[in-house]
Amino acid sequence: MPNLNSRCPGAAWPDYQGGGLLNLMQTLSWELGGPDLGYPPLASGALAGIGRHRHVCLLLIDGLGAAQLRRLGPESRLRLLQRATLSSVFPPTTTAAVTTVLTGRPPAAHGLIGWHQLHGEEIIAPLPLYVRHPAGSASTPRRLADSLFAAPPLFEHFSRPAFLMLPEDICDSPCSRHHAGSSLRLPYRDSEDAFVQLTARLNSPAPAFHYLYLRQLDALMHELGPEDEAAERLLAELDNDVGRLLQAAKQNDAAVIAIADHGFTAAPAAQWVDVDAYPELYGLLARPLSGETRMTYCHVKPGCAARFLELARERLGHACWAEPSAALLEAGVFGPGPAHPDLARRCGDVTLIAKPGWNLRDTLAGERKFQEAGMHAGVHPDEMEIPLSVYRP
């Protein structure tokens, strides 16, 4: 990505050729008797032969990027077991990255590329499944799900039963139901309950794959920031839970893999830009912003893309890099093809990629002005780099 690297100095872009989350899923599928997804395997040998164990557990700790693990838990079990640093996908955010884990497909193929994204003529939030724009839409979550979730689930194709352990409020969501496929979904109340359930399942003599999604750290770092002492304490608690799990893993021939979907960066209150406060710029948009506050898709009125790009660089250049969305597609930042048929349209005409520390937003009627202390989905290394920790008995 030489052109993007020169225009966005210091940016970290995803690796789909052997050092990223997509490659990990290709290797895991091979190891567990699943399909060849058609992507390069993980260059690291960290997962070689892992399918020989009776149980394989995949822990996805939402938000625990490599930088956060290094800073918040330098002596933690997870850090001591770290075997590699991988890249997430683009954008490095839960919607895109967790869908890659659950389907084994890159964002280019599964088509989920932001917290908010264009779907048909509406701007929706794919995970909670609501319509942001237009107001008063009659679309229901079921109708949205039926037309939105396109990539087939991966885990149901493994040669051993797969179990997905999910927070109880999302365990039966349309997103969870689609991406679990025929695999069993198991709800949990809190992280203690999750680890108790998972530990008990390792007592089974039958080989199985166990996926545990943990979102607590992500929620806290959004609220308080990735450097807060509360994040350090929560990671220590999670690490103790992992330690107890490893004791059971040792007794039951269970391998444990721990990854994240993305990292984090601090979001100073003074560095939030209201794009709708620039009427000469915002007035060129055909619809509200979509994407994320650290990476924003702009759908521009016909014939206005060049002027919008020029104005964005002039007015917002201190806070972001403005790039034609076609340049990102050409560079392959969303991953290898074949591409989802709506990918280019969902990216809009111009993408605003926030510089370190900055966030971009607009606020629609009836919305509260969004602001949090920690964010992700941009191209800072702290957002893009994720750890790969592996335990084998």
pLDDT of residue 337: 86
pLDDT of residue 17: 98
Structure tokens at 373: 């202390």
- Please state the rounded mean pLDDT for residues 203-227: 98
Give the model's confidence band at 2: pLDDT under 50 very low, under 70 low, under 90 confident, else very high: low
CATH number of 269-375: 3.30.1360.180
List phi, psi (to 5°) of 51.
-70, -10
Greatest Cα pair distance, the chain, in angstroms, is 66
Structure tokens at 386: 């994720």
Task: Compute the distance between CA of residue 341 and CA of residue 206 in angstroms, rounded to an integer.
Answer: 41
Task: Compute the distance between CA of residue 114 and CA of residue 79 in angstroms, rounded to an integer.
Answer: 29
pLDDT in tens, 291-344: 999 999 999 999 999 999 999 999 999 999 999 999 999 999 999 989 999 999
CATH 3.40.720.10 in the chain: give the residue spans.
2-266+380-391
Strand order in the sheet with 130-133: 117-119, 122-125, 130-133
Rg (Cα) of the chain, in Å, rounded? 20
Is 90 exceeded by the pLDDT of residue 154? yes
- pTM of the predicted model, to two decimals? 0.98
- Buried b or exposed e, range 348-384, using 16+ CB within 10 angstroms: bbbbbbbbbebbbbbeeeeeeeeeebbbbbbbbbbbb
Task: Compute the distance between CA of residue 355 and CA of residue 71 in angstroms, rounded to an integer.
Answer: 22
pLDDT of residue 351: 98
pLDDT of residue 186: 98
Q: What is the mean pLDDT of the chain?
A: 97
Can you give 47-90 as a three-state secondary structure string? CCCHHHCCEEEEEEECCCCHHHHHHHCCCCHHHHCEEEEEECCC
Residues in CB range of 283: below 8 A, 6 or more apart = none
pLDDT > 70: percent of the chain: 99
Task: Compute the distance between CA of residue 35 and CA of residue 51 in angstroms, rounded to an integer.
Answer: 14
* Bond before 91 cis per omega within 30 degrees: yes
- Please state the rounded mean pLDDT for residues 351-376: 97
pLDDT of residue 44: 94
- Please state the rounded mean pLDDT for residues 166-192: 97
pLDDT in tens, 271-286: 999 999 999 999 999 9
**Do the bridges between strand 208-214 and strand 55-61 make them parallel or antiparallel, or are there none, so unpaired?**
parallel
pLDDT > 90: percent of the chain: 98
> Pseudo-torsion of CA 362, 365, 366, 371, nearest 10°?
10
pLDDT in tens, 100-150: 999 999 999 999 999 999 999 999 999 999 999 999 999 999 899 999 999
Residue 124: its H or E element: strand 122-125
Task: Compute the distance between CA of residue 307 and CA of residue 4 in angstroms, rounded to an integer.
Answer: 21
pLDDT of residue 389: 98
pLDDT in tens, 44-71: 999 999 999 999 999 999 999 999 999 9
- Please state the rounded mean pLDDT for residues 254-274: 98
pLDDT of residue 3: 84
What does DSSP assign to residue 111? -
Comparing 3 with 114, the larger pLDDT belongs to 114
CATH 3.30.1360.180 in the chain: give the residue spans.
269-375
* Pick among 3.30.1950.10, 3.40.720.10, 3.40.50.300, 3.40.190.10: CATH of 2-266+380-391: 3.40.720.10
